[in-house]
Structures are given as structure tokens and as C-alpha cells.
């Protein structure tokens, strides 16, 4: 059986620190894993299980009155039944779930994530302003840079962990996971996207102002565990 190939696409890796862009040729003809075939009955059953699970447990419907969930079932179920492979079925489910307009909802088939809902999200930082604010950046590793202000405030930027995107579990001071609960910021920053310029980063400036309220003589360096 022949393996499906990705459609030709340009894949570029941008390094914002060095301001360089690298072309990644591996994605141009990267083979997709073979997708197992499915039947009309199995596809319909899988679709119904997903639809019913969201209908029963998805709490955000009360905040999304514009979503006609029953109407989406009528629209997408015939397409799911027509799917010939598990990948085709997953693609139908992913397209339907994108209509929820929820950044936290996505579909994964094996190791591959299918495109989910997205929207423009302005970056709440200005990397160009960092060095002007905290001083010269030092590179300890390809994915870690740091700096220290003239009055002893440290800055660390961890871009990746072990060559992968950072993954961590956010906890409150008592060790309780914040996932699904959120947290109110201790310092509210009323900044607009246009406030972030190559010369200014309002979030970084507010953090430094907060840290500098502690007398320098009382600041204690962090200890490595």
C-alpha cells in the first residue's frame, strides 16, 4: 500500500533572537502515517460518541448561544459516514469542533494533531525591547538566555526544554494545579497591542517596577534545588 504524502508546503523556522529564518525541507514531502480504513457503521458510531460526549459534558454551550449543536450533527454526520479512513473521519470531527471556536478543543489521531480553531492573538511582549530594558542578553544554551539589570534584577528566557516546546504544570502557592481554574493576576497590566514596541515592553517594565520595591539589600538569590 502506498503512503500518502503531505501536500507541498513551505515550512520555515524563525529565530527571533538572531532574526534569521531557516527553510525546513523535511516537511515538503514528509510521508503521513498510513490511516486504517473504517466502515460506514463504525464511523457513524464514533461520530455519535463524540457528539454525545460534548452534548452531555461540554460546559461552554451556555456561553455560546450562537452554536447550533444539533444542527452541526445534521450537517456533519453524513460526511462522517462517508469517511473511508480513520484520518478522514478525524478530519470531519476536527472541522465540526472548530465551529465551537474554542482554543482548548482539538482532535488527535495517534501522534498527529489535526488543525483546530485559532484566531489572531497579539503577542503580549516585545522581544526587541528586552535588551534595551534589562541589559545585554547572555546565551547559556541555544534555548536559554539571561540578563541582569544594573540594580541586580535577573531575567531568564527559556525558549525550549530539551529541544521541545516548554511543557509544565502551573501550581498556586499551595501546590494546587491551576488547570481549569485560572488565577487572577497579582498585577493588572492595562496595555494594548500597540503599546508593545521595539523600545517598550509594558509587562516587563511593570514586573521590574514591582521587584524593585524590595530593597536591594534584602533581595536573596534563588537557590538551586
Tens-digit pLDDT profile for residues 128-170: 788 888 888 888 777 788 888 888 788 888 766 655 554 455 5
Q: Over 80: is that where the pLDDT of 211 sits? A: yes
Angle between helices 40-57 and 69-81 (to 10 degrees): 160
Query: How many angstroms separate the CA atoms of 73 and 50, rounded?
Result: 10
| Residue 181: pLDDT band with limits 50, 70, 90 | low
Please give the residue that has the higher pLDDT: either 72 or 190: 72
Q: Give the whole-number percent of the chain exceeding pLDDT 90.
A: 29
Residue 129: closest CA among 191, 187, 214: 191
Contacts 24+ apart (CB under 8 A), 98-105: 99/67, 99/72, 100/58, 100/60, 100/64, 100/67, 101/64, 101/67, 102/60
Angle (nearest 5°) at CA 147 between 141 and 153: 140
Is 90 a residue whose pLDDT tops 90? yes
Segment 211-224 shows an average pLDDT of 69
**Given this model, what pLDDT does residue 127 score?**
72
Does 40 score more than 50 pLDDT?
yes
121: confidence class by pLDDT, cuts 50, 70, 90: low
Q: Give the up-direction half-sphere exposure of residue 166: CA atoms within 13 A in the CB hemisphere.
A: 9
Q: Which three cell numbers stand for residue 34?
A: 498510513
What are the boundaries of each domain within the chain? 12-114, 127-217
- Helical (H) or strand (E) element with 138: strand 138-141
How many whole angstroms separate alpha carbon 222 and alpha carbon 206? 21
At 196 the pLDDT is: 84
CA 148 to chain centre: 28
3-state secondary structure at position 54: helix
Q: Is the pLDDT of residue 107 over 70?
A: yes
pLDDT band at residue 83 using 50, 70 and 90 as cut-offs: very high
pLDDT band of residue 34 (cuts 50, 70, 90) is confident
Answer yes or no: are the C-beta atoms of 196 and 130 closer than 8 Å.
no
Q: Which three cell numbers stand for residue 102?
A: 474554542
Look up the pTM and report it.
0.50
pLDDT at 218: 72
Residue 4 has a pLDDT of 42
**Burial class for 159, CB neighbours closer than 10 Å (0-12, 13-18, 19+):** middle
The mean pLDDT of 72-80, rounded to a whole number, is 97
Amino acid at each position: 500500500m502506498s503512503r500518502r504524502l503531505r501536500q507541498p508546503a513551505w515550512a520555515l523556522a524563525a529565530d527571533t533572537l538572531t532574526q534569521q529564518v531557516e527553510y525546513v525541507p523535511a516537511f515538503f514531502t514528509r510521508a503521513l502515517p498510513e490511516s486504517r480504513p473504517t466502515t460506514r457503521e463504525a464511523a457513524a458510531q464514533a461520530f455519535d460518541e463524540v457528539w454525545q460526549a460534548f452534548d452531555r459534558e461540554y460546559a461552554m454551550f451556555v456561553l455560546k448561544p450562537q452554536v447550533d449543536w444539533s444542527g452541526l450533527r445534521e450537517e456533519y454526520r453524513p460526511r462522517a459516514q462517508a469517511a473511508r479512513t480513520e484520518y478522514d473521519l478525524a478530519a470531519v470531527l476536527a472541522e465540526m469542533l472548530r465551529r465551537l471556536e474554542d482554543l482548548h478543543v482539538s482532535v488527535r489521531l495517534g501522534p498527529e494533531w489535526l488543525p483546530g480553531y485559532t484566531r489572531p492573538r497579539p503577542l503580549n511582549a516585545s522581544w526587541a525591547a528586552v535588551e534595551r530594558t534589562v541589559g545585554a542578553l547572555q546565551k547559556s544554551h541555544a534555548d536559554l538566555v539571561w540578563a541582569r539589570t544594573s540594580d541586580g534584577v535577573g531575567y531568564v528566557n527559556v525558549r525550549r526544554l530539551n529541544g521541545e516546546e516548554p511543557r509544565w504544570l502551573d501550581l498556586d502557592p499551595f501546590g494546587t494545579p491551576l488547570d481549569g481554574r485560572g488565577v487572577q493576576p497579582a498585577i493588572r497590566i492595562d496595555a494594548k497591542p500597540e503599546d508593545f514596541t521595539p523600545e517598550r515592553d509594558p509587562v516587563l517594565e511593570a514586573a521590574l517596577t514591582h521587584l524593585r520595591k524590595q530593597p536591594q539589600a534584602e533581595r536573596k538569590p534563588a537557590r538551586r534545588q
